[in-house]
A and B are shown apart, each in its own frame.
Chain A
Amino acid sequence: MTQITIREAVIMARREFLPIKGVVGVSSIGNTIIVYVETPETASLLPRTYYGYRVEVRVTGPIVTLP
């Protein structure tokens, strides 16, 4: 199997993780996929690696506009 790039992995991760309730963001830093979640409970729904890339979960709480 050909290894996909981190950029491709992030695109796939956005499609897969963002619809999960409690996931509020997906990104990447270097070769790590970053997933932002509202609560620590959501972290248990996420894999530790994704297409061979490490997944780092950051608990942020809900993200809202600031008017």
Chain B
Amino acid sequence: MSFTIEEAVQVLSQKFLLQKGVVGVSHGSKELIIYVESEEAARKIPRTLMGFPTKTIVSGKFRVLSLPEAKAGRTIAGTLVNRALRLRPIPGGVSSGSLKVGAGTNAGRVIDKTTGLKMLLSCYHVFLGDVGDPIIQPGKLDGGRYPDDVIGYIERFIEIKPPPETNIIDACIARPVSQDLVSEEVLDIGIVNGIQEAKVGMKVKKSGRSCGLMEATVMDTNATIKVDGYSFGEAIFEDQIITSFFALPGDSGSIAVSADTNAAVGMIFAGSEVLSCINKITNIVQLLNIDIPKSAAPPTLPPTAAAYVLMPLFTGFLLLLGAKTQT
């Protein structure tokens, strides 16, 4: 009695997947493919099974790819908050997403230049959907639910195109359900102070759902890169910033700011084990027709740094006062 290769896979799946060390069964055009955890498990697989040659692939254990646990972040007022919790008003740097994704990061408040209204910014692969689709905070994998946690609806985005076409940004804005719902601050960063071009060697920091606050160095400012993870596979992006590693899954949508000026230089959207990739903020504001205004207040400084700046000024003021009093 002979079997087709598909029938052989069905039979062997029931038998082999119960066997310790075997993690998958499949087939090529003329051979059976057995995925195993280790070389030791591979040695136990016969060279032929049910009349078909076998090919063994040592794949290790398959695991569900889950998001890392969210990092806590600090507000300007000094309160420590969990980025994966429901937060109102909504600061930048916290878990968010559409109903089609697990969770990414809400970059923060931007201004729609066509209406003057506050909008929420993130990557399109985080705020994924059609115009009018709901956005929730926290994201679905962090427990956000429809309709209780809806914070806004998709307003505008730039469609990601497959090769050979190229892309510049992976970005989307959502109109909040209420203008009062949007906080001006980004956790651990404070208020973003306008926009600025990135330069090679510049120190940048970002505040994201998964890694929290991290700093990196700009390595490249005009890269063309292939990025995997879209519904159609790889997409090509031009005019990108590359930095040293500072983002994990769940950090897409984090705003990256200059460590010196707190001005936005871009938004994190991709990365590898050793580097992170950022859409330029100049391209985002132009293509989405939005603005990130300069902050009226100076960039937030931690109390110790503020003391270092203010103390000499205060001392100088006292000396001046003393000098005037003497004359």
Contact = CB atoms under 8 A, between A and B. Distances in A.
A63 B252 CA distance: 13
Contact of B273 (A23, A26, A28, A61): A61
A66 B242 contact: no
A12 to B, nearest CB: 12
Interface in B195-223: 200, 220, 222-223
- Chain B's interface size range is 35 or more
B226 A63 contact: yes
Contact of A60 (B97, B102, B269, B272): B272
A29 to B, nearest CB: 6
Contact of B224 (A25, A61, A62, A66): A25
Contacts of B249: 66-67
B104 A67 contact: yes
Given A29-B200, A61-B274, A64-B228, A36 B250 contact: no
A24 interface: yes
B227 A65 contact: yes
Interface string A30-66: 0000101000000000000000000000011111111
Contacts of B273: 60-61
B230 interface: yes
Contact of B270 (A27, A29, A65): A65
A66 B267 CA distance: 12
A14 B271 contact: no
Interface of B: 97, 101-104, 123, 125-126, 170, 200, 220, 222-230, 236, 240, 242, 247-252, 268-275, 277
Closest 4 interchain pairs by CB? Answer: A65-B229, A25-B225, A27-B223, A66-B252
